[in-house]
Structure 1
């Protein structure tokens, strides 16, 4: 039965239950104090969060459909950005507005899933930067634009970050960009036994930058709700321990980054679905299926730094992106996407 939110204290005070499950980390003191004194309190995690985090088939179909429409909007935007920046009239805020425009034109669009982070050059190094009229800067054909954005569709929630080379880059920018891509691919390719926690996989995304004595202080991955919160647990992939294991049906982000104050910030983010990968020694194995559909900018990649396996992953991902998105684009957009998704080995 459903009651008005304002009735919660009265309801808890009059509750006839013998015991009540309560998560002390998620319950404020006023609510806790309202519970009937005769009621036994059992402290523990709510079972609701875990059941929400495991998608059913209908939800999985929905998120795939939402990703396809989101990808179409992003391709239209990236093509526009590439053509608009050299003209010199665009800023962080105008780019944000244009992206919103392309997304809003998609069926089942309900709004942004969070405020877009559009950080050009040194603004990209501010992890949760949001452009204001006071901080807004023009986009020029050099350096990186870090764009972290997402949308709410009736059939799914999206969250994606792309770091886009707007023109000439320094060797340091290219190196950092390639290291982050290596970490992103390492995590995307992970295969792991059932019962694995996010903290056990986090190192895969960080190792390439750790080897250069660099790190990032946010999580590598957070759970994403289904037409719900863009940050939604209980699973995560981060350095600190979280007892929740990764289970089939969970949607989690894969987003390593590196941030250098006053210079540049880089983050590459896709959402991944945990799926079964068959039986093996000591039980079942799982892997990630990358579900975000959008090209990863190739202009910052130092090809020699990628292994053959990493290059193959990127080429396969781009082939998949082209196959899924090209039918919904016009001829000009398809040509742009074809080039954006061309093989790294043949790309000049």
Structure 2
């Protein structure tokens, strides 16, 4: 590996603090956007492209916003199943209050880079969609909760995020995680979390995405994504263990979660995550948006 790459990949405390700060700002923009979209779909004309523009405007209202970290992926219904979908300005799909939508987006701020995906229902979705969405979320939660010994590579953790899908004879054909730069490239090496045999071990300060998915061609796509940072967990007689700190703060929609699929530990993780979102983001919201947000982050 190029020595400079590894130095960039291992964030120092200042860079990590930048990420934490910026995630609150990005989370506030996301919540305001999600409120706007869920409350206006079906009431006013919008399409995938205009939704991406609207999301950008919510981010741009935040401090030190420099631009998007990549072009937003807004995939409505069957377009959500196209993995690197990009809605064109002309002729992009009209969006209304029916079915599901996948929104993968990110911001570049002076203090750091964000990348987040939320998939949710704008109207009626099938029970099958809810189950699959829960399996993807379960994989994301399991990877968030994992502890691993020093020397572990991303490929060794990839299966943890896939296992709930694998146990149901399902999978997704993209990586589970890529490295993320600090006000740098949203895709940054040398580490990743995927099926490929990448020899780079995960080291403290590395920031990765955690983004399992599930796609049904012609119907819908599901992806749930947070950013995570490697940090030291504990030293035991077996050596040093690492864990992940979740950096992203933005709720998941409970109306598409099938609770009985999740274990008690996974439910506890989600409830704790939502409590943290409430503490971090809540103070910056008011009125109807805040009331709606408090419903989102209430315990499952």
**Structure-2-length-normalised TM-score:** 0.98
Establish whether residue 113 from structure 1 lines up as the match of residue 83 from structure 2.
no
Contact 1:271/1:292 (<8 A) preserved? yes
Question: SS of 2:186's equivalent?
Answer: coil
Shift of 1:133: 3.9
Q: Which runs of 5+ in 1 are unaligned?
A: 1-44
Question: SS of 1:161's equivalent?
Answer: strand
Aligned to 1:270: 226
Aligned to 1:317: 273
Question: 1:262-290 CA deviation, whole Å, 9 max, x = no partner?
Answer: 01000000000111111113211110011
Q: How does 1:87-166 map to 2 (within 5 A)?
A: 87-166=43-122
Aligned to 1:60: 16
Aligned to 1:222: 178
Question: 1:96-117 CA deviation, whole Å, 9 max, x = no partner?
Answer: 1110000001000000000000
Contact 1:92/1:120 (<8 A) preserved? yes
Aligned to 1:49: 5
Question: SS of 1:258's equivalent?
Answer: strand
Establish whether residue 167 from structure 1 lines up as the match of residue 110 from structure 2.
no
Question: SS of 2:255's equivalent?
Answer: coil
- In structure 2, C-alpha distance between the alignment counterparts of 1:222 and 1:54, rounded to whole Å: 14
Contact 1:159/1:271 (<8 A) preserved? yes
Shift of 1:135: 4.5
Question: SS of 2:256's equivalent?
Answer: coil
How many residues align? The count is: 300
Question: SS of 1:48's equivalent?
Answer: helix
Aligned to 1:34: none
- Shift of the 183–94 alpha-carbon distance from structure 1 to 2, 3 Å rule, reads same
Establish whether residue 246 from structure 1 lines up as the match of residue 246 from structure 2.
no
**Structure-1-length-normalised TM-score:** 0.85
Shift of 1:221: 0.3
Aligned to 2:212: 256
Aligned to 1:76: 32
Aligned to 1:284: 240
Aligned to 1:3: none
RCO (CA 8 Å, sep 6+): is it higher in 1 or 2?
A: 2
Contact 1:223/1:232 (<8 A) preserved? yes
Q: Which runs of 5+ in 2 are unaligned?
A: none
Establish whether residue 233 from structure 1 lines up as the match of residue 189 from structure 2.
yes
Aligned to 1:17: none
Establish whether residue 342 from structure 1 lines up as the match of residue 291 from structure 2.
no
- In structure 2, C-alpha distance between the alignment counterparts of 1:140 and 1:254, rounded to whole Å: 29
Task: State the Cα RMSD in Å.
Answer: 1.0
Contact 1:88/1:138 (<8 A) preserved? no
- In structure 1, C-alpha distance between the alignment counterparts of 2:127 and 2:287, rounded to whole Å: 35
Shift of 1:88: 4.2
Instruction: Give structure 1 regions of 4+ aligned residues with deviation exceeding 2 angstroms.
Output: none
Contact 1:88/1:139 (<8 A) preserved? no
